[in-house]
Amino acid sequence: MTCIATFYSHFGAIRFKKTCEGMGWPARLMPVPRNLSSSCGTCVRYEGECPAVIPEEVEQIAVLEGEGYRPLYRAENS
Amino acid sequence: MNVKKERSAIVVSGLLIGVIAVGLVVLGNPANMGFCIACFLRDISGAVGLHQAAAVQYIRPEIPGLVLGSLAMALVKKEFSPRGGSAPISRFVLGFFVMIGCLMFLGCPFRMILRLAGGDGNALFGFAGFAVGILAGVFFLNKGYSLKRTYKQPAAEGGVLPAIMAVLLALLVFVPGLLHFTEAGGGPGALRAAVWVSLAAGLVVGALAQRTRLCMVGGIRDLVLFREPKLILGFAAIFLAALVANLCLGKFAPGFAEQPVAHTDGLWNALGMFLAGYGCVLLGGCPLRQLVLSGEGNADSAAAVLGLLVGAAFSHNFGLASSAAGPTDAGRVAVVIGIAVVSVIACANTFGKKQ
């Protein structure tokens, strides 16, 4: 499935992308889509699933469904 | 909203904002200064007595309008999200030095576009410096720069800056005797559109900027990082609309000498905006974006806005701000110090932490 992960820092996104690629999940960096968040940071769009261990830099992960998103994970207290 | 719709929305918003900016000049604001976040925060700083430069004192209703317009849109769209705790003091210092850079150039990135659209060639040097400053910031982003995560905050925390803005507006309307005002003919602070016009313009632009995430820094940053032109299209649309409006109204005056509220020192125009661009990337957005995020409840951006406000006061209390006569020696020293301080913050939050 196509997922979008958002982060607290640009570098967190760079590292997560490498993690995805290491697991064989195609991934790319892009600006956060407007309909997912009003933040203007960096996200990773990847073909995969919610990782078993989620790095602390990840703010949220959502799966793309049609024109919208279904949340899979959101960092505590965010 | 898919990418195509996002691009259309930001272009339409940019065109509207460009027209509004020129409209404000027609209705009384200083030339090429329909909007200038740095200049307007500087005027507010003077109006409440934080500095005594008589030429630039006025509560510019555009600023409360931007924050409250963003707040209103965020509430309507259920995006008001109080959060904070991401290095607020570092953000305050970054905001402080971004203002020092802006007042060396005499304008924020928003006014830089409006100056270009008015034919002010000096802004080309500012634009070059601004772009290089953004590249410097992007270098640190790619190396691991982070001011760490934000945390959810109580609603009251997110509402503090909008409340301050509402109070400033109330003082202007109901108890103006408490405030300082530039006297008629006394300088740019005396040139202003009617309060309700300025407020309405701020509200509309704040709401549009919240919806589109318009950011003068984000445009170049996203183009460099992702080859994504969406945000820079907003930048281009503002320029285009303001340029056409200026041409239609006979307000386009190409050249370098005697441009309104500007000086001709190319090197320091460039270095001022280098500092502004560099600091803004580390803050995550331009001064306009900081105001808009404050309206969404972001207390970290509110800290940056307070840094901008205090930076403006220091600029005028210590003779750091440029004038039409050019930069001051103290201003040159302050910009160099600012570049050094911003670099220390960048390095400390890139290399000085566990990866």
The model's pLDDT over B66-97, given as tens digits with 9 standing for 90+, comes to: 999 999 999 999 999 999 999 999 999 999 99
Between B340 and A35, the higher pLDDT residue:
B340
Residue B317, judged by CB atoms within 10 A of its CB (0-12, 13-18, 19+), counts as middle
Q: Quick one: how far is CA B237 from the chain centroid?
A: 17
Across residues B205-230, what is the average pLDDT?
Answer: 94
Structure tokens at B133: 């400053």
Asked whether residue B352 carries a pLDDT value surpassing 80, the answer given is no
pLDDT tens-place string over residues B146-166: 999 999 999 999 999 999 999
B4 confidence band (pLDDT: 50, 70, 90): confident
Which residues of chain B make contact with A67, given a CB cutoff of 8 A?
2
pLDDT tens-place string over residues A22-66: 999 999 999 999 989 998 899 999 999 999 999 999 999 999 998
**B130 touches B342 (CB < 8 A):** no
**Domain extents for chain A?**
2-74
d(CA B250, CA B265): 26
Mean pLDDT, all residues of chain B: 96
Instruction: Report H helices in chain B.
Output: 3-26, 37-47, 62-76, 88-105, 109-117, 122-143, 155-158, 160-174, 195-212, 216-226, 230-248, 266-283, 287-295, 299-317, 329-348
B290 confidence band (pLDDT: 50, 70, 90): very high
Instruction: Given the cut 0.85, state whether the ipTM is greater than it.
Output: yes
Which residues of chain A make contact with B150, given a CB cutoff of 8 A?
8, 78
Residues 6+ apart with CB under 8 A from B63: B37, B40, B41, B44, B165, B168, B202, B291
B182 confidence band (pLDDT: 50, 70, 90): very high
Percent of chain B, pLDDT > 90? 97
What SS3 class is residue B151?
Answer: strand
For residue A13, give how far its alpha carbon lies from the nearest alpha carbon of chain B (Å).
Answer: 10
Interface contact A14-B142, CB threshold 8 A = yes
B354 confidence band (pLDDT: 50, 70, 90): low
A78 confidence band (pLDDT: 50, 70, 90): confident
Percentage helix, strand, coil for chain A under 3-state DSSP, each rounded to 5: 15, 40, 40
Across residues B254-270, what is the average pLDDT?
Answer: 97
Which pTM value belongs to this model? 0.96
Interface contact B150-A67, CB threshold 8 A = no
Count of CA atoms in the C-beta half-sphere (13 A) of B298 = 28
**What pLDDT is recorded for position A77?**
84
Interface contact B149-A8, CB threshold 8 A = yes
pLDDT tens-place string over residues B90-131: 999 999 999 999 999 999 999 999 999 999 999 999 999 999
Between A66 and B62, the higher pLDDT residue:
B62
CA-wise closest residue to B33 among B141, B192, B139, B165: B192
Q: Which residue of B has its CA nearest to A7?
A: B149
Asked whether residue B138 carries a pLDDT value surpassing 60, the answer given is yes
**What pLDDT is recorded for position A76?**
87
